[in-house]
Amino acid sequence: MHEFLVAAVAFIVLVGVMVVVHEFGHFAVAKLFKVRVEAFSFGFGPRLFGFKYGDTDYKVCLLPLGGFVKMTGENPGEDEPVDDPAAFTSHPRWQRMLIGLAGPTSNFILAFVLMVFYFAWINEIHDDVKTATVEWVIPGSTAQQAGFEPGDVIRHFENVDNPDWSLVEMRASLNLNQTVPVTVDRGGKTLQLSLHLPGDVKGQDFKMSKTGLLLQMLPGSILVEEVTPNSAAAQAGLREGDEISAVDGHIFHTVIPMQSYLQAGQGKPVVLTVTRSGQTLAPMVVHPTMIDSAWRLGILEADPPGHPDPMPFLKAVSKSKEFCADNSFLIVEVLGRLFTHKVSVSQLSGPVGIARMAGQAAEMKGWLPKFGLASAISLNLGILNLLPFPILDGGMIMLLLIESLIRRDIGTNVKERIYQAAFVVLMAFFAFIIFNDVTKLPIFTHLKP
């Protein structure tokens, strides 16, 4: 219940900000060109409350899943006074195009401003790893069969040179059910390998661990924040503040690959190399216990140390520009791969998926997950609304461009049919995305054999 409430609140706040900013863009430019705006609404359905100022009803409606700006004469077939100079259709096409562009543009500006604020006033610094180093390979996995070994450094993955671990995961998620070329550095020798990526990840987010490849995300040892009373670790003498530098001689930097090693051992005792207050202790033998269907030691890993390091304003602007450009190119690439059937539609996230991500970001420590997700969603909203599909801003702009080329208006009946067909297609797609989101919820993934 707690997770649901956090996700719901985070989603409403996040979508609320995105929608208000998007619709305000349309609203502001419409007012600039003296188009009559009849309503500025957050949400759909019955009106809950609001106020009217001038010609505009500013309101909040029952369903907080979007919003809209209603302009006089905006919809095909709508009754409007003849020769009404304040009607949307009474204005030049170039003005109507600018009104359409204003919404997505506002989302791009919002993403840019959010990241400028983050980099200039927060910018949390953590000691992360700049390379993609293999920390552990799950025995019998696809990665092991491909020839990967712990300690390999990935120098080329798919079409990217010298990626870090996060870039490897991102590029892998765009090439599911495909075999990608990988170049690794193993002790100074260059090896050419091929890794087949799983195709069916419906119901769960993709992680490189699905291939059996666990990459190093942090430097240093595993810092123990808490030891569960009466656990295997507690009985072996492990304490809060201890650092685990090796397990059976294998060096691990985070708990996840160590957990994978414990599963491979099926409960076999392990020998820990532990440092306490700078002193290396005698080898510590621990007998893992089965907890929640997995072999565990009974420890909680401490979060990596970090500190704020705000950037100079101009550098923050440059960094924000880089962030927005990289994410925008990624979104466009995903769309291109969708149309060429290289990425499955089932990988997309709708309202339920976004709510889950928003809830997870809200509960994560630090500000980067929150600012990063908000900016990425704002960029997504802006780019998707520019697609040349009727009902979307891009579709309206496309029809206006066609009218400019043929030098006459498209018939109202034709526009009505176009919008009706587009609405049906969009609703069907929306229903599919929601269904796909629901099947990804843990309650359903846990029911799978």
The whole-number average pLDDT for the span 215-220 is: 88
pLDDT at 3: 63
The whole-number average pLDDT for the span 42-49 is: 88
Going by C-beta distance under 8 Å and a sequence separation of 6 or more, which residues neighbour residue 177? Answer: 197, 198, 199, 200
What's the pLDDT tens digit per position in 366-396?
888 889 989 999 999 999 999 998 889 999 9
> Could you tell me which residue, 234 or 43, shows the higher pLDDT?
234
pLDDT for 440 beyond 70 = no
What's the pLDDT tens digit per position in 255-291?
999 999 999 899 899 999 999 998 999 999 999 999 8
What's this model's pTM, rounded to 2 decimal places? Answer: 0.82
**Mean pLDDT across the chain:** 86
pLDDT for 204 beyond 60 = no
pLDDT for 448 beyond 50 = no
What's the pLDDT tens digit per position in 10-32?
777 777 788 889 999 999 999 99
What's the pLDDT tens digit per position in 389-423?
888 999 999 999 999 999 898 888 888 888 888 88
Residue 44: band (very low, low, confident or very high) from pLDDT cuts 50, 70, 90: confident
pLDDT at 82: 56
pLDDT at 4: 61
pLDDT at 324: 95
DSSP string, 148-183: --TT-EEEEETTEES--HHHHHHHHHTSTTSEEEEE
pLDDT at 63: 80
pLDDT for 150 beyond 60 = yes
pLDDT at 26: 95
Same fold, 132-210 and 222-304: yes
Q: Which CATH class is domain 132-210?
A: mainly beta
Q: Is the dihedral of CA 84, 71, 100, 419 positive or negative?
A: negative
Residues making up the chain, counted from first to last:
449
CA distances from 171 to 178, 207, 353, 376 (A): 11, 11, 20, 17
pLDDT at 447: 42
pLDDT at 58: 93
Going by C-beta distance under 8 Å and a sequence separation of 6 or more, which residues neighbour residue 136? Answer: 150, 214, 250, 252, 257, 260, 261
CA dihedral 364, 292, 304, 374 (to 10 degrees): -20
Residue 200: band (very low, low, confident or very high) from pLDDT cuts 50, 70, 90: low
pLDDT for 147 beyond 80 = yes
pLDDT at 365: 75
Break the chain into its structural domains and give their ranges. Answer: 2-121+372-445, 132-210, 222-304
CB distance 106 to 21 below 8 Å: yes
Residue 449: band (very low, low, confident or very high) from pLDDT cuts 50, 70, 90: very low
Topology (CATH) of 222-304: Pdz3 Domain (2.30.42)
CB distance 244 to 271 below 8 Å: no
pLDDT for 79 beyond 60 = no
What's the pLDDT tens digit per position in 285-323?
999 999 888 899 999 998 877 788 899 999 999 999 999
The whole-number average pLDDT for the span 82-92 is: 85
Three-point CA angle 441, 443, 447, nearest 5° = 115
Percent of the chain with pLDDT over 70: 89
CB distance 42 to 20 below 8 Å: yes
